[in-house]
Amino acid sequence: MARPRVHLLRLLFVLIVLLPSLASAADGGKNLRRITIVSVSDWHAQLEPISLTIDDKQQQVGGAAILKYYFDQERQRNPRGTLIVTAGDAFGATPPLSSFFEDVPGIEAQNAMGFNIDTLGNHSFDYGLDRLRKLMDQAKFPYVAANIVGRDGRTIAPPYRIFTKNGVKVGVIGIGHPRTPEVVFPGRTGDYQFLDPVPVINQHAKRLRRQGAHLVIVIAHIGADAIGADGMPLGPLGDVANAVKGVDVLIGDHSDVSVNTVVNKVIVVENKSKGVQYAVIDIEYDIHKKAILTQSVTQKRPLVEGATPDKNVQAIIDKYQAKLQPLFDQKVGETAMVLSRSRQEESLLGNLETDILRKTYQTQLAFDASGALRSDIPSSYQPANKTLRRTGSGYAAGPPYDIVQGDFFSVFPFGNVAVTFKITGKVLWEALENGLSHGAFEGGKFANTAGRFPQISGFKYHFDPRKPAGERIVSVTLADGTPIPKDNKEYTVVTGDFVFYGGDGFTMLNTGSGTTRELVADTISRVVQQMGTISVKSEGRITRVETSSQLMPPPLAPAADKPQQTVVQANGLAQQRYGPANVNIYAPPGGGWGTEPLFRLPLAGGPRIPHCGWRN
């Protein structure tokens, strides 16, 4: 006889759950308002599509004209209630099609794509405040930045903006990366302070609520380091989400990690970078009850196939391509494999750069931050000549692959200069510890997105990512196995000026005198042209310690024609993303790298490209 009572209880439960929706439906739905937020992360003015392997098929994804097509589709679903947002680094560290023209093409494209709001990322400051302000002035959308504050107490941009969409007041707070002064070229941020995000967010969220905001959105140039076993974001983005109050949506950026979850009752989203993924956040809001009824997040791939490029955006791209291609499409050499990069292990491209710098300037050692390398080779630059052998779809197949001038500007967009100086063993250990101070050992793997991870030449090091930051270096030796102790013995070394002047935490280096040389991009491009075909070989310069048997420094290398072989277990994600690792670059027969750069900056009639910093 208890069964009818059970059915009655179930019916009452269903009615209670559905009551708000039923009431709204009975009211004709007039109180229900849909708000749609479309977001991209770390776009870096990727004006042209990128080739990705999706379901074992090479496909073209993204690009400004294609993204505009998809944005329009989302707007048509909700014409009165859609916001298009991004969270910094829409310009800075960009491909040649934008960076060569001082990132004006990127801003023009953003205007044409219909962005509603943006904030400032670390790369927004790459070329200093004057360039930044010029680009902000050219934007037809507002910037917000609540935690970037000058000595006079004023923020570099308004802290927030209120939009009224579909009758709903939506407050948007902008947040810059708190470590920006450390990770761009010293001095480029002026006297601005980058405050701790959480107190600033909570303060302005409270203020927005007092001003009548129904929803509070945060666009923050802060990213996740990785995704934990529980699906939650690890690192700064998760930390901020757990600590904020009065926030409905937190949109992250900066780290190229895909996030789609709820933390602390806050929708938390971050997309893969360069426009290869975008998020659509739909919120059903009851204007009468002042409450969110439903919410959903869908992350999508803007595939080129089946989409129609927007004509106005494509016209902007075509205009700058016509100016750039005569110079940047020139073939300068070829490579037997993709020269990949990595921020958590030795990389092909890192070895290429540091080997060439060391041999050119005849130093014992060379190192650079992995964040200096902004693209693989072949890069994302797309020459007009489709008969070239490239990795992107639409080109002739490789390997070998053809290298063009545009590749060097894609890899080294900042105009950094090589610097030679002397370093003691003690300072070298300190510098390496700084380079390995980020990243974490999670689930049996080392994950790191920080750009300070050191790529090297002329020496080797072992590190243990399970140890605390500052204690991770196990051993450092010269290439022949001779130990480099923590003492005052000096070695000659070359690096980029960003690292030498203390960027990315390498402040221990800027204590003595150094000699500036030529642009890193000039040096690398000239040598590659002289080599013709680049030959690489596995070497094992960087070893990640994961077993007790690896804790001892390697023995002295035997005298032989072939270098000692060391197998380094590669992290699965890095291997998939960046390809193989551990190479040795061999000079062409006869030696000698030459002295004349292949091309100089600024080029005649072109913009001036000053050196600057990088990271992420």
Phi-psi group of 345: left, alpha or beta (phi > 0 → left; psi -120 to 50 → alpha; rest → beta): beta
**What pTM value is reported for the model?**
0.73
- Would you say residue 598 has pLDDT above 60? no
Mean pLDDT of 284-305: 97
- Looking at residue 584, its pLDDT comes to 30
- Looking at residue 547, its pLDDT comes to 53
- Residue 481 has φ and ψ, to the nearest 5°, of 95, -5
Looking at per-residue pLDDT, the higher value among 321 and 57 belongs to 321
- Beta carbons of 576 and 331 less than 8 angstroms apart: no
- Beta carbons of 39 and 269 less than 8 angstroms apart: yes
d(CA 416, CA 519): 6
- Would you say residue 512 has pLDDT above 90? no
- Residue 213 has φ and ψ, to the nearest 5°, of -65, 130
- Looking at residue 600, its pLDDT comes to 33
Sign of CA dihedral 601, 607, 611, 613: negative
- Would you say residue 615 has pLDDT above 70? no
308-339 tens-digit pLDDT: 999 999 999 999 999 999 989 999 999 999 99
Chain Cα centroid distance, residue 563: 34
d(CA 512, CA 500): 10
Fold of 29-312: Purple Acid Phosphatase; chain A, domain 2 (3.60.21)
Q: What is the mean pLDDT of the chain?
A: 85
- pLDDT bin (cut points 50, 70, 90) of residue 595 is very low
- Beta carbons of 430 and 508 less than 8 angstroms apart: yes
Where in 224-290 does DSSP place strands (E)?
226-227, 233-234, 249-251, 259-263, 266-270, 278-286
132-177 tens-digit pLDDT: 999 999 999 999 999 999 999 999 999 999 999 999 999 999 999 9
- According to CATH, what is the number of the domain 329-578? 3.90.780.10
444-502 tens-digit pLDDT: 778 888 889 999 999 999 999 999 999 999 999 999 999 999 999 999 999 999 999 89
Cα–Cα distances in angstroms (integers) from residue 565 to residues 347, 483, 582, in the given order: 15, 18, 10
Phi-psi group of 532: left, alpha or beta (phi > 0 → left; psi -120 to 50 → alpha; rest → beta): left
- Would you say residue 216 has pLDDT above 90? yes
345-403 tens-digit pLDDT: 999 999 999 999 999 999 999 999 999 999 999 998 889 999 999 998 889 999 999 99
Domain boundaries, the chain: 29-312, 329-578
Within this chain, domains 29-312 and 329-578 share the same CATH topology: no
Strand partners, 403: 333
Strand partners, 493: 365, 421
- Looking at residue 446, its pLDDT comes to 83
